[in-house]
Amino acid sequence: MREINRKSITIGWLYPDLMSTYGDRGNIIVLTKRCQWRGIEVKVTSITLETQNSELYNSDLIFMGGAQDRQQKLAGEDFLKRKGPVVKELVEKAIPGLFVCAAYQAIGHYYKPYQGDPIPGPGIFDLYTQHPGDQAKRLIGNIVAELNSEFGIRNSELRTTIVGFENHGGRTYLGKNLKPFAKVLKGFGNNGEDGYEGAVYKNAIGSYFHGPILTKNPHIADWLISRALAEKYGNKVQLTPLDDSLEWQAHQVMLSRLGVT
């Protein structure tokens, strides 16, 4: 019997074969399960080098993860010329998205390697990244940050922290009008200088957090899901609360470990 009132979302996963280092697919797993546990159907579309743009337009939510150098280069040209402009259009239309690590760098204006010319990006987020060279300290470690209250990411536990692991050489600097995602409590963040982590623009989040980011931060996962549903179905969405005690327990372990109360 067909369920005609069942809600569904389509997640467009960019370059899953090239840009999915170190557990990033966990973000897709978390989004998928948190929908399915609520009876919301999920379809995950792989957007690869060979995929047509039309597939990307069908996305209600976009995800793009981290990558190693060689894979990054392979995806880079395709992203700049073909997929990037489509993603930009969707982000401007308030389609929610999550861009982690190398993806976060890729959606800016440019990435300046230590040696060589800057690599241009589609400028979806008003930011740029530069690499100070291998002599400089790499920004690695567990990180805790406090959410920028402007986004109103609510959760039943009234938690405002996010926990994760960062691992990047590049330093990202936000443009004047781009809001940071969170304020660093322990760790380095975007550049180790200004005390900020990540960035948010409309319904899109960019972040350096591995973990993966959504696993111990269920409030962020639910924010993305509810945004996707709201944009798709055009009305305010109340997500059924889930039992996140395990998520928050894991979250708390890291808060305690880093001395944040």
Partner 1 sequence: MRSYIALIAGKLTRFVSGVLGLGAGGTWPGEVALSISPQILTTLSSQLTEGIIIVAGTNGKTTTSSIIAKILEEKGRRVIHNATGANLVNGITSTLLRNANWLGNLQADWGVFETDENSLPRILSEFKIHPDQIGTKFKIIVVLLNLFRDQLDRYGEVDVIAEKWEKALLPLPKDTTVVLNADDPGIVGIGEKLYCKKIYFGIEDKKLLQSKIQHAVDSVFCPNCGSRLTFAGTFFSHLGHWNCKKCKLKRPCPTIYDGNVKLPGLYNRYNVYAAIGASLVLGINKQIIDQTLAHVTAAFGRQEELTILGKRVKLVLSKNPTGFNESLRTVISLGARHLLFVLNDRIPDGRDVSWIWDVDFEQLPAWVTPVVSGDRAYDLALRLKYARPVHKLPKGAVSEPVTPILVYERLETALKFCLEGIDVKETLYILPTYSAMLEVRKILTGSKIL
Q: Binding of partner 1 at residue 186 (CB under 8 A)?
A: no
Give the shortest CB-102-to-partner 1 separation in angstroms. Answer: 12
Spot the catalytic one: 131, 168, 210, 219.
210
Return the half-sphere exposure (C-beta side, CA atoms, 13 A cut-off) of residue 7.
21
Give the largest Cα separation in the chain, rounded.
63
- Residue whose structure tokens are 């979250």: 251
* Alpha-carbon dihedral angle through residues 221, 208, 124, 27, given to the nearest 10 degrees: -30
Residue 74's SS3 state is helix
- Residue whose structure tokens are 């973990």: 211
Strands 61-64 and 97-100, bridge-based pairing: parallel
Contacts with partner 1: how many residues (CB under 8 A)?
Answer: 40
Among positions 69-128, residues that touch partner 1 (CB under 8 A) are 69-70, 74
Residue 101 a catalytic site member: yes
Q: Binding of partner 1 at residue 189 (CB under 8 A)?
A: no
Q: Binding of partner 1 at residue 17 (CB under 8 A)?
A: yes
- From 31-39, 52-60, 86-94, 150-158, give the range in contact with partner 1 by CB under 8 A: 31-39
If one counts every other C-beta atom within 10 angstroms of the C-beta of residue 49, the result is: 14
Q: What residue ranges bind partner 1 (CB under 8 A)?
A: 3, 5-6, 17, 20-26, 29-30, 33, 36-39, 68-70, 74, 140-142, 165, 167, 210-212, 215-216, 240, 242-243, 246-247, 249-250, 253
Instruction: Report the catalytic residues.
Output: 101, 210
